[in-house]
Structure 1
Amino acid sequence: MKVLVIVAHPNIEKSSVNRTWLGEIKKHLNITVHELYKQYPDEKIDIEREQKLCEEHDRIVWQFPFYWYSSPPLLKKWQDEVLTHGWAFGSSGNKLHNKELILAVSTGSAKERYQAGGRNNYSMSELLKPFQATSNLIGTKFLPAFVFNGVYTSIEEEIKESAEAYVNYILAKDHFESTNNGSI
């Protein structure tokens, strides 16, 4: 299985979790790492290159910090420009059909804040529904997200352990039921 990780973090060098995850996935030759903000500092996306990259992989991972209940802007722009009608969706848009899509998301707040009655009132599963709807539209199999909550209060050892669990998760062959504490 060929895995593509599209990393979308505008300040990766200042990130404790996403930077650690990036360092861990780079150790694995069977994972293609694609850093959007590094590749496109001018935000001029090479659509054909991005589509070809997606076509060459079986599993696509969108790795990002949770920004205003969504992804950072360059990942949204990537979706708008790369996931085109006739390629990703529509009557002839089948290039991503049967590929797998995983979200790898970090949040600043603790897990308890992402539930009914919590500060954010909704679970991460509910808040990530627009990504699942996108997956449905483009014909990918939406797998349970890998979520790291509580960046603001986490310690280095927790982050390091999450990086190892993250790599194991995105390389796992089956994702029917997630038993990983970091995923939803």
Structure 2
Amino acid sequence: MKTLIIVIHPDLPGAVVNKRWVEELKKFPDRYVIHQLHECYPDGKIDVHCEQQLVEQYDQIVFQFPYYWFNCPWLFKKWLDEVLTHGWAYGSKSGYKLAGKTIALAISVGVDEADYLPSGTYNYTLAELLRPFELSFGYVKADYQPPFTYYGIEYHSTAEWIEKSVQPYMDFLNAL
């Protein structure tokens, strides 16, 4: 069974961690299908029917993106708003096309994990800040899993540090 990895990064060629993760995923085409939203929709005009058909094909879906401004990139929010429609994702007897599908987030974070503690810089844990995703995917009856997070990109983005992120990410995906 392949896992659909939906990559939402506005500048993947200029990225560090997300780009490296995609490079690693490409080594395993028998296990992962990579779908890059910004590459598919550079104008932001999402083909809703196409996205729904794609998602329906997979039982495991991972949304991979950088976390900034305490949220996801704008195209992910737009995707959620447009693709998770009434009658398809929820709200009718024929809806709930995501029901039972394993959904997870794979997130790169600029600051250190200690900044996302009640006593840290931002006063909230990342789990608390990600609660809208948990609620949204729960609402459509998906099996939402705890996210994979890799912290400290702004502070530690050496080649060695980036490489250290790869195996934990792959282990996370293999454990879904």
TM-score by length of 1: 0.91
In the other structure, the counterpart of 1:100 is 102
| Contact 2:110/2:154 (<8 A) preserved | yes
Relative to structure 2, which stretch is displaced further, 163-172 or 71-80? Answer: 163-172
Summarize deviations over 1:84-127 as a string: whole Å, max 9, x none.
Answer: 01000112321110001110011110010001010111111111
Matches within 5 A, 1:101-180: 101-154=103-156, 155-173=158-176
In the other structure, the counterpart of 1:6 is 6
> Structure 1 runs of 4+ off > 2 angstroms?
none
Q: Counterpart of 1:166 in structure 2: which amino acid?
A: Y
Q: What is the aligned-residue RMSD (CA, Å)?
A: 1.0
In the other structure, the counterpart of 1:45 is 46
Q: CA–CA distance in 1 between the matches of 2:172 and 2:128?
A: 21
TM-score by length of 2: 0.95
In the other structure, the counterpart of 2:83 is 82
In the other structure, the counterpart of 2:56 is 55
Q: Counterpart of 2:20 in structure 1: which amino acid?
A: T
Of all paired residues, the percent bearing the same amino acid is: 43
SS of 2:105's equivalent? strand
SS of 1:121's equivalent? coil
Q: Which runs of 5+ in 1 are unaligned?
A: 174-184
Q: Which runs of 5+ in 2 are unaligned?
A: none
Q: Counterpart of 1:85 in structure 2: which amino acid?
A: H
Summarize deviations over 1:14-33 as a string: whole Å, max 9, x none.
Answer: 11111111111111111010
